[in-house]
Amino acid sequence: MQEELNKLPFKSSRLPNGGVGIILSYNNEDITVPAEHLFAMILIKAKEISAFANNGVNLADAVLAVPNWFTDAQRRAILHAAEIASLNVLKVANESLLIALSYGIFKSAKKLFSETDPVHIMFIDLGYTGYSVTIVDFIQENMKVLSTVTDRHLGGRDFDAVIIEFLAETFQKKTGINVRKNIKALLKLEVAAEKAKKTLSPNGVTEANISVECLAEDRDLSCILTKDEFEARTAELVKRLEAPVNQALAEAGLRREDIAEIEIVGGSTRVSIVKRKLGEILGLDASALNYGLKTTMNSDEAVARGGALQCAMLSSRMKVKPFNIIDRLTYGIEASFETAETGAPTVVSLYSRNDELPHKPRRLTFPKKFADFTIRVSYDSAAVALLPTGQDRLIAVYTIKVPPGTVPADVRVTFNIDKHGLLQLSGAELLEELPFVADDKASEDKKTNDEKKAEEGKSEDSKSAEGKKKYKKVDLEVITSTFSLSREQIKSSIELEASIAHENKLIIETADKRNELESYIYGTRTKIDGALQKYATSAEKSQLHSLLNNAEDWLYGDGFDSTKSEYTKRIAELRAVGDKIEARSTEEANRPSAVEGLKRQIELCKSFSSNR
């Protein structure tokens, strides 16, 4: 977290709940909003872009893509941001899943997969911040993720950082100025570094000319970065491409020869040394196009396209041909609780890494409970090596409320992984044993099959040697404690966002009125001395010129920062005189056609009268 915060060009602070607060300037005052609110602002802007691109039609549903390694807390934060932004999110989906979906659904629609024999496809995604390798099985109308392995700290920005360091070194040697702590200079170097990386990516290009004006202290930077220098400096980064590939194959239980195709996506896969190294790792033909790697997908939009398809599949507004998806769980999850017998914590595994999703619910039964008890749910010990550095293993604490005076009875707790990848305690039930009643065969025979099934469901896990035991199920209250924004914080952010939106709307409308006044002043002045001159009396011209001059002086003086209502008032004063003159011009322009229309009507009337 600290490493990421140090890269930000704005200030942040620690919130009381341990989260990250972003410091904003609002109405000339510094305010702190949760990072979730800042992301909500980005989502709101995305909604505006979407509406503008679709003739004002608002976004109805959405799927948000997140890296495969996002934790429970991060996924909850994404949903809270969507709530603040009033965005209806149908699913928080893994990027790797969406990439595979955008590849497979169209091929399945074209009947390019077998009905029985799975095809193994590897997807390698090297984006701006992360690197992932995913292996997926495809058969007709089905896809199953076999494994996904990520390196959270290997992406395009790391290649950029190498070039930035080269540029900083070069500039310091030439000028003696160290720009590594100069945020403004670093932003300029980031732009130059990304441009140089793109220049060096195609085959045949051996060097990139880099020029940055006024980098620091009015000094310019001009230098040349050769491809050999770039590849030498990024050699350690390129070495890290291999481990995730090997781990993904191992977790999928496959060999390199079993992979039918290797699709690469992400802007950073365009770097030639990256493609060359991946080809070497996978034993592909070095003389082939792109070193034997497939580039049939849109590198920049593969995730977004997969997200759009997933959204269409989940939305009630669309009808999509069935396509079954099975994903994998990134982290193992365990539950711990104290037992009455030992008083020591007992740990039970709920889910393991790479369990299939969706997954059937997991149930735990706690015997002879008569008082409140607590369940702590955490990532398992194997997940420590995979979690972001410093991430607490604890996911949530659930307190099961047992009514006072309850006779000791079993409590059954049900856990589930929802569509967003979040762990949910979906229910806690007190199983009160009912008095045993012998089966009445005649009565049983009258029951329908559906009634029998319902009865069996109610008495699940309740058979004993003496006969069937029946239980009355009583739902229990569950108090959940997770690392997330409270309802009060979310409500506060929603209210603040509504206030900001209202003020933004007023600012835009005020600016529009100011521009309207300015346009009217210059436009009318030109016309009153030209096209409208003959339609105005001398007194009207003099009056209008005076009003226009006064309005102009006011606008570029005290009135430039005035209110919307004042601009509206000034426009109305000018129009009270100017519109009368405009009306005369319009009337004369329309008179010939009106006279012709009248003549036609008179002729029709004459013709009608003569025929009578």
Q: Is 59 exposed, middle or buried (0-12, 13-18, 19+ CB in 10 A)?
A: middle
Query: What class, spelled out in words, does domain 156-237 have in CATH?
Result: alpha beta
Return the CATH architecture of domain 489-605. Up-down Bundle (1.20)
Instruction: Determine the Cα–Cα distance for residues 314 and 172; give it in Å rounded to an integer.
Output: 55
Least confident of 79-83, 225-229, 607-611: 607-611
Confidence (pLDDT) at 436 = 65
Vertex 497, ends 496 and 498: CA angle to 5°?
90
pLDDT above 80: residue 439: no
Q: pLDDT exceeding 90 applies to what percent of the chain? A: 74
3-state secondary structure of 583: helix
pLDDT tens across 255-296, in order?
999 999 999 999 999 999 999 999 999 999 989 999 999 999
E strand or H helix at 99, and its extent? helix 95-109
Reported as a pLDDT band with limits 50, 70 and 90, residue 452 is very low
pLDDT tens across 64-93, in order?
999 999 999 999 999 999 999 999 999 999
Record: fold of 60-154+240-326? Nucleotidyltransferase; domain 5 (3.30.420)
The CA distances from residue 50 to 57, 226, 356, in Å, are 8, 41, 34
Neighbours of 138 (CB within 10 A): 22
Give the residue-averaged pLDDT of 172-197.
94
pLDDT above 70: residue 337: yes
Record: fold of 329-438+454-485? Substrate Binding Domain Of DNAk; Chain A, domain 1 (2.60.34)
Separation of CA 94 from chain center: 11
Q: Which tokens in the block code for residue 394?
A: 């604890």
Is 154 in contact with 184 (CB distance < 8 Å)?
Answer: no
Is 229 in contact with 243 (CB distance < 8 Å)?
Answer: no
Place of tokens 């012998």: 438
Report the candidate in 459, 607, 100, 513 with the shortest Cα–Cα distance to residue 307. Answer: 100
Reported as a pLDDT band with limits 50, 70 and 90, residue 343 is low
Query: Strands 373-379 and 477-482: what pairing?
Result: unpaired
Amino acid at residue number 499: S
Residues 6+ apart with CB under 8 A from 139: 113, 114, 115, 116, 117, 118, 119
**Average pLDDT for the chain:** 90
Domain boundaries, the chain: 60-154+240-326, 156-237, 329-438+454-485, 489-605
Reported as a pLDDT band with limits 50, 70 and 90, residue 341 is low
Q: Which residues of 486-508 are buried (b: 16+ CB within 10 A; e: fewer)?
A: eeebbebbbeebeebeeeeeeee
**In degrees rounded to 5, what are phi and psi of residue 434?**
-95, 155
Beta-carbon-side half-sphere exposure of residue 407 (alpha carbons within 13 Å): 4
pLDDT above 60: residue 161: yes
Q: Which tokens in the block code for residue 17?
A: 């709940």
Reported as a pLDDT band with limits 50, 70 and 90, residue 314 is very high
Reported as a pLDDT band with limits 50, 70 and 90, residue 472 is confident
Least confident of 1-5, 23-27, 301-305: 1-5
